Amino acid sequence: PGHVFLCPFRTCPGHQFVGSPEGWWELLCREATTVPSTRYQIEELPGVGQYIANAIELIRFGIARPLLDVNMARVLERYFGPRELADIRFDPYLTSLAQAVVDCETPLLLSWAILDLGATVCTSRAPRCASCLLASECNYAKGISCAKGEIGVADAGGRKQ
C-alpha cells in the first residue's frame, strides 16, 4: 500500500489520496488551477509537511533536498553524532547535516540509499553493523558516539553491549 495524503480536491474519496508522492503530485497538477512552484506554495498545500515538500522539490524539480525520516535520521545520527531536539523536523543540526549530505550530483539516489540502509541494515532494534559498508567509519559501530539514549556497539556482530 502507498502513503496516505490529504487531498485538497473532491475527486478523492474521503479527501484522501493513497499512493506515492509522485502520484499525489500528478493528481495535484491535474486538478489544480495553479500548480505550486515555490517552497512556500508547496508547504501551503493541505497535508504537506517538511518531508513531502522535500520530496516534491527533489523528485519533481530536481532540487537537492533530504528525505529526512526516522530511518535517515538514525543512519546520520549513528554515523555522525546525535541531534539535540526530539523532533527531527526542527533539529537544526540534523536538518543541516541531512541537507549537506544530499548536496551532491545524485541527491535522489543518495536519499533512497540512506533510507534503504536505515530500513534494512541500520535498523533501530537489531542493527547489522557487520554487514554495513559504513561500519569502519561509523561512530555507532565503533561504540564512540550514537543517538541519544543508544549505546554503540563494539563487536562485529552488531550486538549492543
The whole model's pTM is what? 0.72
Tell me phi and psi for residue 54, to 5 degrees: -65, -45
pLDDT at 156: 44
Q: How many other CB atoms are found less than 10 A from the CB of residue 52? A: 20
Contacts of residue 151, defined as CB under 8 A and 6 or more positions apart, other chains included, come to 143, 160, 161
Give yes or no for a contact between 16 and 24, defined as CB atoms under 8 angstroms apart: no
Contacts of residue 135, defined as CB under 8 A and 6 or more positions apart, other chains included, come to 129, 141
Cα(125)–Cα(88) distance, rounded to whole angstroms?
Answer: 19
- Grid cell listed for 112: 533512497
pLDDT band at 10 (very low <50, low <70, confident <90, very high): very low
β strands within 94-146, DSSP E: none
pLDDT, one tens digit per residue, over 127-158 is 999 999 999 999 999 887 565 556 565 444 44
